[in-house]
Amino acid sequence: MITSARMAAVDRNAAALGVPQKQLMESSGNAVARTVREVASPGDGVAIVAGRGNNGGDAFVATRFLDGFDLTITLLGRPESISTAIARENWEALQTAEYDTEICQDSAALDLGSPDLVVDAVLGTGVSGEPREPERSAIEAINATEATVVAVDVPSGLDADTGEAAGVAVEADHVVTFHDLKPGLADHEAVTVAEIGIPTAAETFVGPGDLGVLTRDPLAHKGDFGRVFVIGGGPYTGAPALAAQAALRAGADLAFVASPESVADRIQGYSEDLIVEPVPGDRLTPQPVPTLLDRASAMDVVIIGPGLGSDERTAAAVHEFLAGFDGRAIVDADAIEVVPEVETAATLVCTPHQGELREMGGPSADAWRERAAAVEDYAASLGHTLLVKGAYDVVSDGAETRVNRTGNPGMTVGGTGDVLAGITGALLARLDPLQAAAIAAYANGRAGDEIVDEVGYGLLASDLLPELPPVLWRDR
């Protein structure tokens, strides 16, 4: 099954792969027409009721495959208000070909007559809530007929994800839905799932469509988009600073860094935007863990690992922290090796490269398809989400797996993984773990690709930071 939001992302990803929405609409309309031909008899009266979105566009296409029927096509609203260019093009094609089309601007005047079959293309999967006019009256008019009703993608007024209706909904006899079954149709008796040419890659590979879940409420306040708490530093100072700055660039409101007091000033020196909180010593040890747990309880996400090093006392501190933490956390770098041996109530996203994955006891495979399957199995047994870095990043929560192809060989430079951890942390404050990790991998790689396209190899991890906002917020 596929949710309406995920379907929208897959459509956009398909376009990015070179399969335009216009082509998908042609296939969708053809699929609707096939069902109409199976249900109706030649010469039957067929009334097509179309809204102004792509659902209506599918019906306009279907019209061209239904010659031989007594057709009427009613558009709800003015043609200039059709919301997408491809739907408008298909409406205009019907005018040029002189099909019997009608425009209904007064829902009270809608008269479908006595058709043998009605095609419901009023509202699509992207619409929720109680239908407004003229859609509401159109739905009532469809239900008032004695005709067989074929719904396009989902019966109008029915929530594609829940199967519930906030108000009135079309009582469809047949539903033609596209690509995959929608959750809200699971109990419907007559559903045809039509393949429309969306490649598997549009679901497997992370793409620009996935960014559609990123929004910013214009009435938001400080903190609404996340407080990220980086626990790192000691032998290294740049890593926690990069992670914290990347979190801010990826949309977090505040970034805190807890680091050993011996290096706190140096980390603060990287940016005045960071809030650095020293802990005793020159490395992380178990002694300040209770304080860190208390501090972490006020945060949305913790990133633990950047720059911590591999000291045994540090590993013990990470173990104690994770065992006592029940929030959301990114586990990176040397902290990763602790994860398989710790029992935790926390929601973890682990970001190993392939060598670190092997050190965790995880699988190794050269071919990305084999690695993806093995990582999914390991994530399921581990009980946490994995973002395994490589030429093809593999992201899995054990139930679902995504693959990211952005990035380039210039990103083998140190620090790019710390940036990735920071992006993932910012996104995990607002999204589910799989979404956060998949989008973070895509954004990190795209930022690197933008730099290499402009100046060539030799990039620095810090070069990625200014590229993140346009990648995340403009690449739609």
The string of pLDDT tens digits covering residues 261-304 is: 999 999 999 999 999 999 999 999 999 999 999 999 999 999 99
Residue pair 429/228 in contact by the 8 Å Cβ criterion: yes
Predicted pLDDT at 106: 80
pLDDT of residue 260: 97
Q: pTM for the full model?
A: 0.93
Mean per-residue pLDDT of the chain: 95
In DSSP terms, which residues pair with 403 in a beta bridge? 205, 394
Q: What is the 3-state secondary structure (H, E, C) of 62-102?
A: HHHCCECEEEEEEEECCHHHCCCHHHHHHHHHHHHCCCCEE
Instruction: Render pLDDT for 121-164 as a digit per residue (tens, 0 to 9).
Output: 999 887 778 888 889 999 999 999 999 999 999 999 999 999 99
Q: Is 455 helix (H, G, I), strand (E, B) or coil?
A: helix
Mean pLDDT of 14-27: 96
Percent of the chain with pLDDT over 90: 90
b/e 374-396 (16+ beta carbons within 10 angstroms → b): bbbebbeebebbbbbbbebbbbb
Tens-place pLDDT, residues 188-235? 989 999 999 999 999 999 999 999 999 988 888 888 899 999 999 999
* Average pLDDT of the residues in 4-33: 96
Q: Give the three-state DSSP class for 391.
A: coil
d(CA 158, CA 210): 24
Q: What is the mean pLDDT of residues 414-424?
A: 97
Cα 112 to chain centroid, rounded: 39
pLDDT tens profile 428-447: 999 999 999 999 999 999 99
86-112: pLDDT as tens digits: 999 999 999 999 998 999 888 777 889
pLDDT of residue 286: 97
Q: What would the pLDDT profile of 357-391 be if each residue is shown by its tens digit? A: 999 999 989 899 999 999 999 999 999 999 999 99
Name beta bridge partners: 75. Answer: 50, 103
**Residue 81, pLDDT above cutoff 70:** yes
DSSP run (H or E) holding 302: strand 301-304
DSSP 213: G
Please report, for residues 347, 422, 429, the alpha-carbon distance to residue 449 in angstroms, rounded to integers and kept in the order given.
30, 18, 26
Read off the pLDDT of each residue in 403-426 and give the average, rounded to a whole number.
97
Contact at 8 Å (CB) between 300 and 291? no
Label residue 204 exposed, middle or buried (CB < 10 Å: 0-12, 13-18, 19+).
middle
pLDDT at res. 475? 55
